[in-house]
Amino acid sequence: MNNVVLSDKVKKALNNQLPILALESSILSQGMPYPNSLEFAKKAESLCLEAKVVPATIAILKGVIHVGLEENQLREICEKETIKKISLRELGVAVSKKWDGSTTVSSTIQIAHGCGIKVFATGGIGGVHKTPPDYYDISQDILALSNKPIIVITAGPKAILDIEKTIEALETASVTLLGYKTKEVPSFYSIKSNCFDLHQVDSAREISEVYTKNIEVGLSSSTLVCNPIPKKHEIPANEIKEIIELACTTAKNRNVFGKRLTPFLLNEIVKKTRGKSLSANIELALNNISLGIDILSYLK
């Protein structure tokens, strides 16, 4: 890929076919407040390193796409308030305008796959937003998942979304939907959604097998693994439902839409849950990284 700088560790791992786990940076810049974001980023990196997996956090610094960040770069992405949220359609703009930017699920998929990385762990994917009349918002994450055959691990569509419509959109996009030890779509902060549409897989080995078969049959879409938040960190759906509804109404009243919507909603929910949703977000993302590490041990 052009305009991409690989960190030394990532370069070495790619040359020697060692396990690499892609990580996004929008979750750090827009998804979590500082300094929690940096604490999370450091934990994420050390989880990988302890398991001899190379973490490849992806971000754009002064128009250069970096795959694998040094500690000072990671700090910059978490700390600086001017980092832009860059999804797929803005990659070329960010590079040509020499912006600092964090990558969302869609742009991270594009870059990770372009570099030959097979597994990417995130928190929650974007999808179809709840639609009050006269409102329409579907994340590019769905298109990216449709176009690149990699494994993406998520705790489900973010709870702020319309889960059923998101699942339908993923079906239209021919994304393979696997549930780790469940058939029910997890909904980010919660284990439940009442939407039972996943193919259950019970081990990391099974996930790697489905992905390998997807590649063998020539699928161009992703294998999306839905991994529920661990029970002890869950915020039950009925507990958070009203808070989410309130956040959506506040967004509408303040005319927040487009790329600002998801970060706005997440931040409102952190305020209204007095930080409980932030801890849940961190725990589910770390849980996804752990599963990603396990899956990598079965991939050649």
Stretch that binds ligand PSU, among 123-131, 191-199, 210-218, 245-253 (CB under 6 A): 123-131
When asked if residue 139 is in the footprint of ligand PSU (CB under 6 A), the reply is: yes
Q: Which does residue 109 bind out of ligand PSU, Mn ion, none, counting CB within 5 to 8 angstroms by kind? A: none
* Cβ-based nearer residue to ligand PSU, 27 or 56: 27
Residue 105 touches which of ligand PSU, Mn ion, none (CB < 5 to 8 A by kind)?
A: ligand PSU
Q: Is 76 a catalytic residue?
A: no
Three-state secondary-structure class, residue 173: coil
Residues 26-65 that bind ligand PSU (CB under 6 A): 26-27, 30-31
Does residue 137 bind Mn ion (CB under 5 A)?
yes
Dmax (CA) for the chain in angstroms is 53
- The region of 120-128, 195-203, 236-244, 247-255 touching ligand PSU under the rule CB under 6 A is 120-128
DSSP state string for 141-165: HHHHHHH---EEEESSB-TTB-HHH
Q: Is 228 in the site for ligand PSU (CB under 6 A)?
A: no
Contacts of 122 (CB under 8 A, 6+ apart): 23, 24, 27, 105, 108, 152, 153, 154, 285, 288
Minimum CB–partner distance for residue 264 and Mn ion (Å): 11
24 included as an active-site residue: yes
Residue 288 binds to ligand PSU (criterion: CB under 6 A): no
Distance, CA of 202 to CA of 195 (rounded, Å): 19
Q: Is the dihedral of CA 29, 161, 117, 97 positive or negative?
A: negative
Among the listed residues 85, 118, 148, 158, the single catalytic one is 158
CA distances from 260 to 23, 81, 124, 143, 298 (A): 21, 14, 16, 19, 38
Q: Are 181 and 202 in contact (CB under 8 A)?
A: yes
Q: Answer whether 281's CB lies under 8 Å from 149's CB.
A: no
User: Active-site positions?
Assistant: 24, 158
Residues that bind ligand PSU (CB under 6 A): 24, 26-27, 30-31, 104-106, 122-124, 126, 139-141, 259, 262, 266, 281
